[in-house]
Structure 1
Amino acid sequence: MTAITRRILLGSALALGLAGTAAAQFPERQITLVVPFAAGGSTDVVGRIVAERMSQELGQQIVVQNVGGAGGSLGAQQVAQADADGYTILMATVATHALNPLILTQKPYDPVADFAPISLLVLVPNVLAVNPELPVNTVQELIDLAKEQPLAYASSGNGTPLHLSGELFKSMAGVEIDHIPYKGSGPALTDVLGNQVPIIFDNLPSASGHISSGKLRALGVTTAERAPSFPDIPTIAETLPGYETYTWNALFAPAGTPPEAIEALAVAARTAMADPAVAERMAEFSATIVASGPEELAAHVQAEMAKWEPVVRDANVTMD
C-alpha cells in the first residue's frame, strides 16, 4: 500500500467517522415547527403539546412559529422552500396536504414531491350537529327531512375540511343541502346557536361545550369509530356506511432532508405521543393518537387525496 493510498483510506475513514458523528448529534440546535394557522386552534394546540415533549426527547428546543393564511398554504409553502436540514418542519393537516392542493388554482407547492413525511400524529373528529329546534334526532331523520324541505348547513368557510365533510355527506346521502360558508367556526356556531342556520359541520373540540350544554344536538361524529369523549354520539357511518372524514395533524420536513434527521424526528414524535401525559391532553379534545412512521404517513396522504378529489370535483370547489 502506497503512502498516497494510505492517506486516501485514512481520509475516507475520517470523513465517514465525522459524518456518523454529525448524524448521531442531530439536532445540534433549535428546531422551528411551523404551524400554518393562527394561535389557539386545535392544530396549534397539538403542535405546542408535541413540540414541548419532543424538545425533551431531542435535547434541543422546538419553537412553534404560527404562519397563518390561505388555508394553511402560506405556512406549508414556507416549509417546502426551507433548507432541507431537519431544522424547519411543518405541522400539516388535511387542508395543507389534501384539500388545498386539489382546490387552489395556483399551486404553491406539491404535497408529495416537496415534502418528506415524518409522522401522522393524531386524528381529530368532526361532528354533524343541529339546532335543537330542528325536529330531527338522528342522521337518518335529517336525511329524510332534507328530502322533504330545503335545508342549509354552516361551515367555517369555503374549501375547509368542514365544508367538504358536508359535501361528502350530501353526495353519499343523496340529498341537497345548501352550504353557508363563514369566516371561521366561531361565527358559524353563533348563527347555528341562534337558529339562523339549522345545521353545522364543525370540529368536535370547538362544538363540544355546546353539545354538553344542550345548545346543540349532535347527530353523528365523522370518524369511523365513536369519539371516546362522547361515546353516546353515533358515527355518521352507522347510517351511511363508508362515510369518514376527520381533521388530522402530521409532521413533515422539506424534501431532501437527510434520512438520519427524519428518523430522529420520527422516533422523538412517536416517543412523545406514547407519553401518558400527552395522551391525556389529546384525549381532552377527542384526538386519536396514531404516531405512525414516515411510510404510513406517505400512504395516508395519497389515500386522502384520492378520497377528496372526486368530492372537490363534484362540488366544483375552487379557490384562487
Structure 2
Amino acid sequence: MTKTPTFRRRLVQAATALCALGAALPALAQQPWPSKPIRMVVGFPPGGTTDVMARVVAVPLQKALGQTVIIDNKPGASGNLAVSEVGKAPADGYTLMVAPISVQTANPSLFKPALNPERDLQPVVSMGHTQLYLVVRKDLPVKSAAELVQLAKASPGKLTYGSGGPGTQMHLVGELFKQQAGMDAVHVPYRGAAPALQDLLAGQIDYYFDPASGFSHIREGRARLLAVTGTRRSPFFPDAPTLAEAGIKGVELGNWFGLFAPAATPAEVVARLSREVAKAVALPEVKQRFAELGVEPVAQDSATFHKTVADETKLLSALIKERRIAID
C-alpha cells in the first residue's frame, strides 16, 4: 500500500505527458506551406489570354515555391464555374484561381442568382493589365474618336459595335463609351473576340473595343485604331491618344488579370504568393510573352489589388444598372 501514491503519481504524470503529446501532434504534423502541388483553376478554355498568362507565370512560380503548379481549366458561365469551385475549396493555399477581375466586379451584377465572389474570394496579386483599343473598319469615314461620336450622333442607332458576348469587358466598355459620349449605337454580340474581329475586318460591324487581339491587323492597315482606354497611352501604340485626350472622359476601364484565393486563406500564404508572382512577372521572358498577348505586367499587392477590384465593382455595378444590362 505504501507504493500506491507513487504509482498513482506516476500514472498521472504519464497521462499528462500523453495529453501534451496529443496536443502537440497537430503542430508536428502540420508542414510549412507549400508541401504539395498547387492547383490554379482557370475559368476559360486553353489557349486564351487568361490561360496563357497562368501557364507562363506557373513556370517561375513553381521553381520559387518548390512545388508543381497545375493549371486546371474549368470553362463555363463567363468564369463562374471556376469562381464557385475555388470559393468552396479549402482555404489552405493549394487551390487558387487566375482570372480577369470581371469575375468579381461584373459577374455578380450580371448573373442571377447573383454570385458573391467578394465574400468567397480574395484578390492575392494582379499579374497584368490590358487596355482596350477603339478600332473601326478601315472604310468608315472617321479618323478620330470625336468624329466617330459625331457620326453616331448624326445617325442615332445606325452604327454597330461588336463584342465578345453580353457582359464581356468589350461589351461593358462599349456601353460605358456610349454613356460618356452621349451617343447611341447597336450592340452586336459574338461568341468571343475573334469572330467580332473577323466581322469588323469584313465590314459587317462599324467598330469595337479590341482586347489586344487585333494588333497585327491594326499595324497592317486592315483596321483603324482611333484611341485607347486608360489613363495613359499604350506602350504598344504610343501614337494613339487615350479617349480622355480625344475629349471623351471617364472611359478608363481596361482589363486586369490576377490571382485569387478562397477568402480565409492565411495572410502569410497570400503575402508569399503576392511576392513570388511579382517576381515572376518582372522576369524578361515573362514580360516578352505578355507583350505578345498585349498585356503589360503589373503586380499590385493584395491590398492595392483589392482596392482596384472594389473601385471597378462600384463603377460596373452602376453602369450595369443604368444601362439595364442583364444575362439570363
Partner in structure 1 of residue 233 of structure 2? 226
> Aligned pair 1:176/2:180, yes or no?
no
Query: How large is the Cα RMSD of the aligned pairs?
Result: 2.2
Contact 1:82 1:88 in 2 (8 A): yes
Partner in structure 2 of residue 122 of structure 1? 128
> Aligned pair 1:287/2:295, yes or no?
yes
> Aligned pair 1:255/2:252, yes or no?
no
> Aligned pair 1:301/2:309, yes or no?
yes
**Letter of the aligned partner of 1:61 in structure 2?**
T
Of 241, 244, 268, which aligns to 1:237? 244
Partner in structure 1 of residue 118 of structure 2? 112
TM-score when normalising by structure 2: 0.89
Q: Give the distance between the partners of 2:232 and 2:26, measured in 1 at CA.
A: 49
The Cα shift of 1:116 comes to: 2.5
Q: Give the distance between the partners of 1:8 and 1:112, measured in 2 at CA.
A: 44
- Shift of the 13–78 alpha-carbon distance from structure 1 to 2, 3 Å rule, reads closer
**Letter of the aligned partner of 1:238 in structure 2?**
E
The Cα shift of 1:308 comes to: 0.8
SS in 2 for 1:147: helix
Farther-moved stretch of structure 1 (265-274 vs 174-183)? 265-274
Q: Give the distance between the partners of 1:11 and 1:279, measured in 2 at CA.
A: 50
Partner in structure 2 of residue 54 of structure 1? 61
> Aligned pair 1:189/2:194, yes or no?
no
The Cα shift of 1:277 comes to: 1.9
Q: Give the distance between the partners of 1:91 and 1:258, measured in 2 at CA.
A: 18
> Aligned pair 1:159/2:167, yes or no?
yes
- Shift of the 15–271 alpha-carbon distance from structure 1 to 2, 3 Å rule, reads farther
Q: Give the distance between the partners of 1:181 and 1:13, measured in 2 at CA.
A: 60
> Aligned pair 1:99/2:106, yes or no?
yes
Contact 2:164 2:193 in 1 (8 A): yes
Of 137, 146, 170, which aligns to 1:140? 146
The Cα shift of 1:15 comes to: 6.7
Q: Give the distance between the partners of 1:300 and 1:248, measured in 2 at CA.
A: 9
- Shift of the 297–3 alpha-carbon distance from structure 1 to 2, 3 Å rule, reads farther
**Letter of the aligned partner of 2:225 in structure 1?**
A
Farther-moved stretch of structure 1 (281-290 vs 27-36)? 281-290
The Cα shift of 1:275 comes to: 1.6
TM-score when normalising by structure 1: 0.91
Of 69, 75, 83, which aligns to 1:76? 83
- Shift of the 286–225 alpha-carbon distance from structure 1 to 2, 3 Å rule, reads farther
Q: Give the distance between the partners of 2:23 and 2:166, measured in 1 at CA.
A: 57
Contact 2:173 2:251 in 1 (8 A): no
**Letter of the aligned partner of 2:160 in structure 1?**
A
Q: Give the distance between the partners of 1:16 and 1:157, measured in 2 at CA.
A: 49
Partner in structure 1 of residue 93 of structure 2? 86
Q: Give the distance between the partners of 2:299 and 2:17, measured in 1 at CA.
A: 46
Sequence identity (%): 37
**Letter of the aligned partner of 1:210 in structure 2?**
H
SS in 2 for 1:236: coil
Q: Give the distance between the partners of 2:310 and 2:169, measured in 1 at CA.
A: 16
* Count of matched residue pairs: 314
Q: Give the distance between the partners of 2:241 and 2:315, measured in 1 at CA.
A: 22
**Letter of the aligned partner of 1:165 in structure 2?**
V
Q: Give the distance between the partners of 1:18 and 1:280, measured in 2 at CA.
A: 44
SS in 1 for 2:287: helix
Contact 1:26 1:264 in 2 (8 A): no
- Structure 1, unpaired ranges of 5+: none
> Aligned pair 1:203/2:208, yes or no?
no
Q: Give the distance between the partners of 1:169 and 1:64, measured in 2 at CA.
A: 35
The Cα shift of 1:12 comes to: 10
Contact 1:227 1:286 in 2 (8 A): no
- Structure 2, unpaired ranges of 5+: 1-11
Contact 1:89 1:252 in 2 (8 A): yes
State the Cα deviation string for residues 141-197 of structure 1 (Å, max 9, x = none).
101111112211111111111000000000000001111111111211121111111
